[in-house]
Structure 1
Amino acid sequence: MRDFSEYRGYEVYGLSVVGFVKGFAAFRSIATTFLMRENIGTLDREGTIVIEPHGWYPLDGYLRAFNAIARETGESVVRQLGVGVMQNVHWPKEADSLEGMVRLINVGYHMHHRRDGVPLHDPVKGLTPSLIGSYEGRKVSDSVFVIECANPYPCLFDQGLVQGGLRRLGVKPGSVTVTHEASRPCRAKDGESCTLRLQLGPGAEWGIRSRVSTRPGPGIRF
């Protein structure tokens, strides 16, 4: 089992962990099991996990929890974790459209990670070079965008992350399809990255503005 020791000193923001737990829906006891194995969170008197949304948690342990989930549960669970995280984290304020989400997903990713207590995104200085990788979104045509995901999270998680972003934007189900480009490398097959393709259907627009809030809803205890 990979121990992700290269990420010691890195931390993930509590809101990401909140989304992780919410991604389990009615089966949050499973999330409790995986996270407590890594000493992430605390338990209250009833044995319910407590996550501090504005706290910071060790990234190596968080990634080990993902790895364990990928081994011990179904693909749909890992994908749903991505949906849960994307619907509960902070977004850059300009990420209020489909195009904005694709363009700024990497900024949002770095906003929720830090190294040795220093955030990996600074509003003035920009991104800090690090080992956590990136999401690189680009426009291919008027109806197609791609996002290259080169980071330590599971492939299925990133698919769910994008789908969760579409839900948060209020995109009509079925109007944008998200697929993994089969001709490209895949981290699940020892590749260094995965490429996701976003295809617009009739009537969908990249620039359409949503009423989505860039601030997540409250949540501490589950």
Structure 2
Amino acid sequence: MRATLDAFKLVPGLGRRIVEKHDLRISDMRPDNFIRVQNWLNALEDIQNVVGPAKLRDVGRNVVAAADIPLGQDTEVILMNLDGIYYQNHRGDVGHYLSTRLEDGTIEVRCETPYPRNFEWGLIEGFCRHRAADKKRYSVEYIDGPSKAAHTCTLVVRLLQI
């Protein structure tokens, strides 16, 4: 939820109204408290409908700053362990991230979660940018999945040679 509000820095009132409309409260953002995923999904749907897919992608990019992720691991290790990290931050059966390393070193992340596609794209971009301490840069290619399927999209992460 913090990632959602951070994406609305230029119009914070709008972001706050959207999350509050879906019964999400700042006071509920505590490490010992889980919020209902459906409430956040509803807020994300509103963001896409009211503000657009680019803002939803911004929200995804911001998640990495607030998520419980292991410290000291490089980007590629994080991406390969994304499903486990996802379940550290979620309860119940909420889908999966299926990561595969290809022979050329490319990492494919197949998204099978209830989250919107542009959010997923931003999320993977956020992981690739946040871990800049490993001094590597990555490109993230988005491949749309089938309409109304469990597999929403695939994100192809490539190390850039600089």
- TM-score, structure 1 length as denominator? 0.65
**Whole-angstrom CA distance in 1 between matches of 2:49 and 2:2:** 21
- Given that 1:92 and 1:107 are in contact with CA atoms closer than 8 Å, whether structure 2 keeps it comes out as no
1 CA distance for matches of 2:29 and 2:150? 32
Bigger proportion of residues as strand:
1
> Is 2:15 the counterpart of 1:37?
no
Q: Extract unaligned runs of 5+ from structure 1.
A: 1-16, 42-48, 116-129, 204-222
CA distance in 1, matches of 2:123, 2:43: 17
Pick one of 179, 185, 197 that aligns with 2:156: 197
User: Which residue of the partner structure matches residue 118 of structure 1?
Assistant: none
1:85, 1:53 → 2: CA distance? 15
Instruction: Tell me, yes or no, if the aligned pair for 2:28 and 2:35 is still in contact at 8 Å.
Output: no
Report the alpha carbon displacement of residue 51 of structure 1 after superposing the two structures with TM: 4.8
Aligned residues: 159
Partners of 2:54 and 2:135 in 1: how far apart?
A: 21
Asked whether 1:89 is paired with 2:67, we answer: yes
**Which structure 1 residue ranges, 4+ long, deviate > 3 Å from structure 2?**
none
Q: Distance in 1 between matches of 2:96 and 2:62?
A: 20
Structure exhibiting the larger radius of gyration computed from Cα positions:
1
Residues in 2 aligned to 1:40 and 1:201: alpha-carbon distance in whole angstroms: 38
Sequence identity percentage: 20
Q: Which residue of the partner structure matches residue 118 of structure 2?
A: 156
Work out the CA distance in 1 between the residues paired with 2:56 and 2:65. 15
- CA offset at residue 142 of structure 1? 3.0
Aligned to 1:126: none
Higher helix share: 2
Q: Work out whether 1:57 is the aligned partner of 2:41.
A: no
Instruction: Return the offset for 1:50.
Output: 4.5
User: For 1:66, which of 44, 48, 52 is the aligned residue?
Assistant: 44
